[in-house]
Amino acid sequence: MRKLLFSLAIMIGVVFTSTADEGMWMLQLLKQQKLSEMHALGLKLEDYDIYNPDGASIKDAVVQFGRGCTGEVISSQGLVLTNHHCGFGQIQQHSSLGNNYLDDGFWAMRQEDELPNPGLTVTFIDQIEEVTAWVKECLVRDRERDKEGIFYLSPAYLNGLAREKAGEQFLNDHPGTEVEIKPFFEGNQYYMFTKKVYSDIRLVGAPPSAIGKFGADTDNWMWPRHTGDFSLFRIYADKEGNPAAFSTSNVPLKPKRWLTISTRGVEEDDFAMILGFPGTTHKYYTSWEVAERRDIDNSVRIRMREVRQDALLEEMLHDPAVKIQYASKYAGSTNAYKNAIGTSWAIDMHNFEQVKRDQQNRLAEWADRKNKPQYTDALKEIECIVKERADLRYRSWMLNEAVNRGVEFSTIPTAIAEHLVKALEDDDQAEAEKLLVQLESAYHQFADKDYNPGVDRKVSKKMIAAYMQAVPEEHYPGAFHLIASDFEGDSDRFVDFLFDQSLFGSEENFRRAVSGATLIESLRNDPMFLFAKSVRDEAASLRAQLASYDVPLSLARRTFMEGMLAMDEPYTHFPDANLTLRISYGKVKGYQPRDGVVYKHQTTIEGVMEKEDPDNWEFVVPEKLKALYSTGDFGPYAMPDGKLPIAFAATTHTTGGNSGSPVMNGAGELIGLNFDRNWEGVGGDIQYLPDYQRSIIVDIRYVLFVIDKFAGAKHLVEEMELR
Ligand code: ARG
Ligand code: ASP
């Protein structure tokens, strides 16, 4: 019996190399891959409703928002919904003390009041085409030029091919159209994307941060969640509907397709699907890369960020001005820190090393049977490279996390300073004047309103001490040796010396030096400049040494992946995320994080009120929201039991880049807006965990409630199509 079960397990393992609900699938292969499973779970649509190369389909309503987020078109007038944290930079840009949209929210009551955002783009995917055979032919054609053998993964080369394929004439005739070829499965397959990029994107609405960022860092990566993480933008185009630079004569885009919205709500186990632009995953890591990620990358990141965040928080809690200055840096730091903790937890808890070892062993046995030694060799090569690069990788992660990120002054503009010294030495007056202007501007960009030298001084002392403890002395960047030779090993005194003596140590020092007669001397001997330059040189040297492993590793990974694809049935695998359009599907579902603890699938306004803490900026609840809560005035957006829904969780496989993605029901109607994952599920970037991984989604009814009842911008809801 046991034996039978065992072979059954193997059979099942062989057939289902991905678990139900796992995967970020490519739209054009839905029929071959997942459509029947999706139908079984509750999808009512056909593949061509989602992706239709010959007509409008749901994919035409899904856009890449900026460079790292997703958004969706939700009206016939080009209205786009995305996350508050995706529009955060724009909302911040328009904010001042007088018009504090971060604190108070922003609502354009008329289209004339919508705010332009230079630099922001929204990208539609017009066409997706497999071009594997053609790219492979070109690689053979161009092999003479490809001295290092890296063209097969090179974005510059591949995008050159894309332009060649599209033709310059076509691109000139279609302003705003861009083409791109991306490698999939480590360079075993290629797809070409024809995109339309709109660049006149205006801010339409954003809730106050107390709604859009409610729970801030404490709740980040956490379920149960109570954040209204959304904002609204509008796409503007020329009169023909083509992309055009900002102009008052532009008009709202009439899109090919927009999503209809369901206000009927969700129940546990309902079908849910997400279209979006996931950024990076590592499904095809080998066991050695899993261990490397935990033992080097994550371990260094966690240790060093703990030191930095503790030091930062102490300063922030001490001084409200510092709290504002460092809010964004602190949030960025904790975001990746918590992710690293969750990933390492999942690696151990669910033995990812064994999962990947099983995958490798399966390949090795198959390769043996089929007499294809190249696949076993590729595995050995990966193992070998990962072992050999361990020390370099450790030092590089340490330098990056502890010094480049932890010591702000390690990023002062050394390159411009060097050019300036050179121009002064050459007595090139004109060049020197130009460079001095550049240096001033670069220094002020570094020492901007959110830079506090007092904080940097304190935090750097902690970071430099931690770095020196963690890295062997012979590997310190050159400037660190001064600490032993000139400061009796006292790194705190060294940091004080840098700040007191350097022209980059304070605005006063900087002013004095640039207006002084001996600028050349001051620059040449500037201790902070010498420190930063030495860190920069060490980083470059580590990068160069590590690069010698990159090419053979990528090649071995390509062969390994080729073996995986050859071994399993066609269409079994989904490619790792690479910022291309994908679909994930699953069910609305809660989970059990720990023994005896059950999390429900849905949260409500009750939880907002439970978390309320007027003394903690992360959990302040706006008065207006409290008033609506106390009268229970939720309009048509309440659940059948009268409560206001806030967020729900689903088993959909998502990652960074999926923020802002539309969450749809079986009929393809919008039911929510993806914005996060639970920390127990972030390991899904390496191995999806059906019992743990959850996408965290704002309930669309909360979004509508905030727009309509809270902000009084009912005209925007009227623009949408509600069902
Ligand atoms: N964890 C989410 C995602 O990576 C949201 C991040 C923004 N929120 C924050 N508190 N930092 O990227
Ligand atoms: N919060 C992420 C994002 O910004 C989404 C995730 O990592 O699940 O894309």
**Which amino acid is it at 322?**
V
Q: What is the pLDDT of residues 450-460, one digit of tens each?
A: 899 999 999 99
Indicate if ligand 1 lies below 6 Å from the C-beta of 676. yes
Determine the pLDDT at residue 8: 45
Task: Pick the closest to residue 662 from 253, 230, 105, 77 (CA basis).
Answer: 230
Q: What is the pLDDT of residues 557-569, one digit of tens each?
A: 999 999 999 999 9
Measured between alpha carbons, how far is 422 from 183 in angstroms, rounded to an integer?
43
In this predicted structure, the answer to whether residue 220 has a pLDDT above a threshold of 90 is: yes
In this predicted structure, the answer to whether residue 6 has a pLDDT above a threshold of 50 is: no
Q: What is the pLDDT of residues 11-70, one digit of tens each?
A: 444 334 567 899 999 999 999 999 999 999 999 999 999 999 999 999 999 999 999 999
Counting atoms of ligand 2 from 1, which one is nearest the CA of 339?
7
How large is the average pLDDT for residues 410-415?
Answer: 96
What distances in angstroms separate CA 103 from CA 99, 324, 617, one per listed residue?
A: 9, 12, 11
Protein residue with least CA distance to atom 2, ligand 1: 676
Counting atoms of ligand 2 from 1, which one is nearest the CA of 658?
9
Measured between alpha carbons, how far is 638 from 632 in angstroms, rounded to an integer?
9
Counting atoms of ligand 1 from 1, which one is nearest the CA of 220?
10
Mean pLDDT, the chain, as a whole number? 95
Counting atoms of ligand 2 from 1, which one is nearest the CA of 70?
9
Which of 226, 676, 694 for mutating ligand 1's site (highest number of atoms within 8 Å of CB)? 676
Tokens of 680: 């127990």
Ligand number with the minimum distance to the CA of 677: 2
Contacts of 282-285 with C-beta under 8 Å, sequence gap 24+, read: 282/576, 282/685, 282/686, 283/574, 283/576, 283/686, 283/687, 283/688, 284/185, 284/186, 284/557, 284/560, 284/561, 284/564, 284/576, 285/356, 285/686
Protein residue with least CA distance to atom 3, ligand 1: 676
- Measured in Å, residue 671 CA sits from the centre of ligand 1 at 21
Those residues whose C-beta lies under 8 Å from the C-beta of residue 540, and which sit 6 or more positions away, are none
Confidence at 489, pLDDT banded by 50, 70, 90: very high
- Measured in Å, residue 579 CA sits from the centre of ligand 2 at 12
Determine the pLDDT at residue 580: 98
Neighbours of 97 (CB within 10 A): 6
Ligand number with the minimum distance to the CA of 216: 1
Confidence at 678, pLDDT banded by 50, 70, 90: very high
Determine the pLDDT at residue 17: 53
Q: Is the dihedral of CA 515, 521, 527, 528 positive or negative?
A: positive
In this predicted structure, the answer to whether residue 703 has a pLDDT above a threshold of 60 is: yes
Determine the pLDDT at residue 14: 39
Which of 277, 280, 335 for mutating ligand 1's site (highest number of atoms within 8 Å of CB)? 335
State the Cα torsion 212-215-216-221 to the nearest 10°. -100
Ligand number with the minimum distance to the CA of 68: 2
Indicate if ligand 1 lies below 6 Å from the C-beta of 85. yes
Determine the pLDDT at residue 41: 97
Contacts of 618-621 with C-beta under 8 Å, sequence gap 24+, read: 618/214, 618/215, 618/216, 618/217, 618/218, 618/219, 619/214, 619/215, 619/218, 620/210, 621/210, 621/214
Indicate if ligand 2 lies below 6 Å from the C-beta of 656. yes
Rounded to 10 deg, the angle between the 320-349 and 299-318 helix axes is: 160
Neighbours of 60 (CB within 10 A): 18
- Measured in Å, residue 335 CA sits from the centre of ligand 2 at 10
Indicate if ligand 2 lies below 6 Å from the C-beta of 685. no
Task: Pick the closest to residue 53 from 256, 314, 282 (CA basis).
Answer: 256
Report whether 89 contacts 186 (CB < 8 A): no
Fold of 10-121+199-282+574-719: Thrombin, subunit H (2.40.10)
- Measured in Å, residue 661 CA sits from the centre of ligand 1 at 14
How large is the average pLDDT for residues 149-163?
Answer: 97
Task: Pick the closest to residue 51 from 136, 162, 129, 168 (CA basis).
Answer: 129
Indicate if ligand 2 lies below 6 Å from the C-beta of 659. yes
Ligand number with the minimum distance to the CA of 329: 1
Residue that wins the pLDDT comparison between 517 and 312: 312
- pTM of the model as a whole: 0.93
The residue behind tokens 């009439």 is 254
Burial of 76 (0-12, 13-18, 19+ CB in 10 A): middle
Reply yes or no: is the peptide bond before residue 224 cis, omega within 30 of 0: yes
- Measured in Å, residue 306 CA sits from the centre of ligand 1 at 18
3-state helix, strand, coil split of the chain in percent (to 5) is: 55, 15, 35
Ligand number with the minimum distance to the CA of 225: 1
Q: What is the pLDDT of residues 282-340, one digit of tens each?
A: 999 999 999 999 999 999 999 999 999 999 999 999 998 898 789 889 988 999 999 99
- The domain segmentation of the chain, as residue ranges, is 10-121+199-282+574-719, 287-350+390-547
- Measured in Å, residue 498 CA sits from the centre of ligand 2 at 39
The residue behind tokens 């709500």 is 265
Indicate if ligand 1 lies below 6 Å from the C-beta of 171. no
Indicate if ligand 1 lies below 6 Å from the C-beta of 221. yes
Measured between alpha carbons, how far is 582 from 39 in angstroms, rounded to an integer?
18
Measured between alpha carbons, how far is 115 from 104 in angstroms, rounded to an integer?
16
Measured between alpha carbons, how far is 302 from 336 in angstroms, rounded to an integer?
9
In this predicted structure, the answer to whether residue 464 has a pLDDT above a threshold of 60 is: yes
How large is the average pLDDT for residues 229-240?
Answer: 98
Counting atoms of ligand 1 from 1, which one is nearest the CA of 215?
10
Indicate if ligand 2 lies below 6 Å from the C-beta of 82. no
In this predicted structure, the answer to whether residue 652 has a pLDDT above a threshold of 90 is: yes
Which of 67, 82, 85 for mutating ligand 1's site (highest number of atoms within 8 Å of CB)? 85
Task: Pick the closest to residue 70 from 584, 661, 466 (CA basis).
Answer: 661
- Measured in Å, residue 618 CA sits from the centre of ligand 1 at 14
- Measured in Å, residue 166 CA sits from the centre of ligand 2 at 33
Protein residue with least CA distance to atom 2, ligand 2: 656
Measured between alpha carbons, how far is 660 from 696 in angstroms, rounded to an integer?
11
Report whether 178 contacts 191 (CB < 8 A): no
Determine the pLDDT at residue 592: 97
- Measured in Å, residue 331 CA sits from the centre of ligand 1 at 8
Indicate if ligand 2 lies below 6 Å from the C-beta of 657. yes
- Phi, psi angles (nearest 5°) of residue 509: -60, -40
Measured between alpha carbons, how far is 546 from 390 in angstroms, rounded to an integer?
10
In this predicted structure, the answer to whether residue 695 has a pLDDT above a threshold of 80 is: yes
- Measured in Å, residue 278 CA sits from the centre of ligand 2 at 8
Determine the pLDDT at residue 18: 66
Indicate if ligand 2 lies below 6 Å from the C-beta of 676. yes
Task: Pick the closest to residue 452 from 621, 322, 620, 349 (CA basis).
Answer: 322
Indicate if ligand 1 lies below 6 Å from the C-beta of 229. no
Those residues whose C-beta lies under 8 Å from the C-beta of residue 85, and which sit 6 or more positions away, are 212, 213, 229, 659, 675
In this predicted structure, the answer to whether residue 1 has a pLDDT above a threshold of 60 is: no
How large is the average pLDDT for residues 79-96?
Answer: 94
- Measured in Å, residue 282 CA sits from the centre of ligand 1 at 20
Tokens of 444: 């002020």
Protein residue with least CA distance to atom 12, ligand 1: 656
Which of 85, 230, 335, 675 for mutating ligand 2's site (highest number of atoms within 8 Å of CB)? 675
How large is the average pLDDT for residues 159-188?
Answer: 97
Determine the pLDDT at residue 639: 97
Those residues whose C-beta lies under 8 Å from the C-beta of residue 277, and which sit 6 or more positions away, are 64, 69, 70, 579, 580, 581, 582, 657, 658, 661
How large is the average pLDDT for residues 606-611?
Answer: 98
How large is the average pLDDT for residues 406-421?
Answer: 96
Indicate if ligand 2 lies below 6 Å from the C-beta of 655. yes
Indicate if ligand 1 lies below 6 Å from the C-beta of 390. no
Q: Give the active site residues.
A: 85, 229, 659
Counting atoms of ligand 1 from 1, which one is nearest the CA of 338?
1
